[in-house]
Amino acid sequence: MKHYQIPNQNLWTGRVSNKWLYLHEKVHFTPLNEIPKAQKKSIALLGYACDEGVRRNQGRVGAVTGPDVIKSSFGKMPNHLGSNVLLHDVGSITCPDGDMETSQKTLAEVVKVLLEKKQFPIVLGGGHDMAYGHYNGIKTYLDTKKEGQTIGIINFDAHFDLRKNTEQSNSGTPFYQIAKGCEKEDIDFNYLCLGIRNDANDRNLFQRARDLDVIYVMNDTFQIPLLEEITTWINAFAKNVDYVYVTIDLDGFSSAYAPGVSAASPMGFTPHIVLECLKTIIGSGKLISLDIAEMNPKYDIDGQTAKLAASLVHYVAHAVSGS
């Protein structure tokens, strides 16, 4: 498969207990062609080692190494997964020679295979352009079942990422591309953005969001004191779709928590509100797949952003497996 790279075992190190107390002791290194159809709960970590979309969007490059750093940080964390839960590192999608479009297509193919194998995919990036490939992988998988299921996208982000791809697709265009694909197929574009900022989106993007019937919560509302109201919006959104795909852009967090991103700002949201929302989403029983975007180790401080990303993966992995 073009641009696919098998797992790198050297990323997974940490304390040795010989009792599976740490995740690096729990993980299986499983190339895609060896992934079995899961007979029990199973989580698959997949890297998207590409920041070509960030470069095209005039952002700070460096997210290409994000997936490896997140995996390394995650591996050092305690393992509370049940013995009946499998954890796989299935490798990464790479982006040689700036060939982002092929990387997105390969990502879609791999996500489809993982879902067919009854894995729960967690994709680690890498630029947010991965959302286009990730969504298409989910959609292709559901299309093969021919049951007409609807997908709702929940994006934790400061940005709409609804820029037009009139010249080249990039990390700012994935949801516009998805919207145009939905329009072409005459299906609903279900998109909820949490944490949108006025200082991160121009007026054209706000108008485009309104034109596309995007539901969004501004950053000044996306706060713990308003959690009950936010939970109501999430539940109402999830109720109207069959499946939910969650994408978390690390640059939506305040740089106090996430300095190592492609577009850092001190004005972002906190990890606490995101964790509470994830609890609600997972509780809906509709979460089909999740990714974390824009991890940029080049600008991280003391591994802080990597630890945040790894902690989010830690929470989701344990929550979706019931551990």
Between vectors from CA 307 to CA 35 and to CA 246, what angle results, nearest 5°?
A: 55
pLDDT for 39 equals 82
pLDDT for 323 equals 77
pLDDT in tens, 104-118: 999 999 999 999 999
Asked whether residue 134 is marked as a ligand-binding residue, the answer is no
Contact 273, 223 (CB under 8 A): yes
pLDDT in tens, 66-82: 999 999 999 999 999 99
Question: Phi and psi dihedrals of 40, rounded to 5?
Answer: -145, 180
Please list the residues that pair with 292 across neighbouring strands. 124, 248
pLDDT in tens, 263-279: 999 999 999 999 999 99
Mean pLDDT, rounded, for 49-60: 96
Read off the pLDDT band of 1 (50, 70, 90): confident
Could you tell me the pTM of the whole model?
0.97
Asked whether residue 318 is marked as a ligand-binding residue, the answer is no
The count of domains in the chain is 1
Read off the pLDDT band of 166 (50, 70, 90): confident
Asked whether residue 314 is marked as a ligand-binding residue, the answer is no
Mean pLDDT, rounded, for 283-293: 98
Asked whether residue 220 is marked as a ligand-binding residue, the answer is no
Helix H or strand E segment including 93: strand 86-94
**How far apart are alpha carbons 137 and 131 in whole angstroms?**
10
**CATH number of 115's domain:** 3.40.800.10
pLDDT for 227 equals 98
pLDDT in tens, 240-263: 999 999 999 999 999 999 999 999
The three-state secondary structure class of 287 is: strand
Contact 85, 40 (CB under 8 A): yes
pLDDT for 150 equals 96
**Amino acid residing at 163:** R
> Is the per-residue pLDDT at 216 higher than 90?
yes
Asked whether residue 159 is marked as a ligand-binding residue, the answer is yes
Residues of the domain holding 103: 4-320
Asked whether residue 199 is marked as a ligand-binding residue, the answer is no
